[in-house]
Copies of this chain bind each other. A is one copy, B any other.
Amino acid sequence: MEYRKRMEKVLKVIEERGLDGVVFVSPENIFYFTGAPFVKGSVGKILYLSKDGTASIIVTDLDYQEALDFVDADAVRIVKTEFGERPSERLKKISGKRIGFEEQQMSYSLYDYLRKDLELQPLNGLAEKMREVKDEEEIRRIEEAQRITERALEEALQSFAKGMTEVEIASEVERRIRLLGAESYAFESIIASGERAVYPHGKPTKKRVEDGESVILDLGARVGGYCSDMTRTFFVGKPKQFLRDVYDAVAQAQNEAVRAAREGITGKELDSVARGILKEFGYAQYFGHGLGHGVGIDVHEGPSVSPRGETRLTAGNVVTIEPGVYIPGMGGVRIEDIVVITERGSRNLTNFSKEFIEF
């Protein structure tokens, strides 16, 4: 990974803004700049990049050995805190005075602690914006995570049957995601069937999947720190004509949006491609979320592909395209691919069939 090249961009901002350095506290951003292994949601590591070019990861004894073994010691110094000392305390001892920080990631309480001694300036999404444009290696990892998820779902699909619980379905896919080589899951699997399929975030329960229902599966793997994200909707036995119609509408909206994804289009415009088609079918009021989002180290990152997405897509963006229709009391359908924006349009990183699949 081009860690040093990434840091150079930050050093330029440090210079332009007359800062003494920059501090990163989110495990995702620290991973992005150094490759330091991270536990999702964990805190306790700090990356400090000084205007002289020195990068330091401050860790407690807990994560010291792992940082030492996995981070390039020529590029990054590993600073171990004294026993009982917090990384934020040590930061104050080694940092300059005028410091840029991640305003979206830093908690108010850490901000409030640091500002007593430092002069803090928000970086205005600097790292988050850099992460929106992926390089080849990043795309390769996302694609590998996607291949694993697809193979896991293809294999697991053979075992799906009427009467299984949502949890059993989740278990069949998840264990294959592990065994096929992912380091972990990209997020908690969503499996929602029948009347529960109206919950876009519905986690698997002991509910059994029954004849005529749709089953939404939203799944992802993590490879080399990068996430994949895919949704497919399957059907149990013979579904009502109504659900078939919804499926066709969502599939058409999804395909058209994938085709429309290219450099220069805003997230908002792309969202409206899918939303317009669902409107023609009379389903737009049941599509209650944005069309998509960026995917990378976080499964949800920029750029936004929603009615709020004012940013123009650019080559290297990896975004989901996931229209859904959720009708209370009736059921739901969602179809999701990830695409990478290229200089000539876009490339769909998802190969899994979008045919109407019954089991």
Contact = CB atoms under 8 A, between A and B. Distances in A.
Interface of A: 37, 39-42, 60-66, 69, 83-84, 101, 103-109, 111-112, 122, 167-168, 170-171, 174-175, 178-179, 181, 183-185, 187-188, 198-206, 288-289, 300, 306-308, 326, 328
Contact of A308 (B64, B84, B181, B206): B84
Please name the 6 residue pairs, one residue from A and one from B, whose CB atoms are nearest each other, closest first: A61-B288, A171-B178, A62-B289, A103-B109, A175-B175, A84-B307
A239 B105 CA distance: 44
Contacts of A37: 201, 203
B103 A112 contact: yes
Contact of A307 (B83, B122, B183, B307): B83
B106 A107 contact: yes
Contacts of A307: 83-84
B62 A288 contact: yes
A266 to B, nearest CB: 14
- In the complex, the count of this chain's copies comes to 2
Given A62-B288, A108-B106, A40 B39 contact: no
Contact of A103 (B40, B63, B108): B108
30 contacts: A37-B201, A39-B188, A42-B300, A60-B288, A62-B200, A62-B201, A62-B288, A63-B201, A64-B288, A65-B198, A65-B199, A65-B326, A65-B328, A66-B201, A66-B202, A84-B307, A104-B109, A106-B107, A107-B107, A107-B108, A111-B111, A167-B179, A167-B181, A170-B178, A174-B175, A174-B178, A178-B204, A181-B206, A183-B204, A185-B188
Given A107-B106, A108-B122, A109-B103, A183 B203 contact: yes
A108 B111 CA distance: 7
A109 B122 contact: yes
Nearest to A198: B65
Nearest to A69: B199
A190 B39 CA distance: 10
A106 to B, nearest CB: 5
Nearest to A113: B103
B188 A184 contact: yes
Nearest to A104: B109
Contacts of A61: 288-289
Contacts of A328: 65
Contacts of A198: 65
Contacts of A101: 108
Given A65-B326, A65-B328, A205 B183 contact: yes
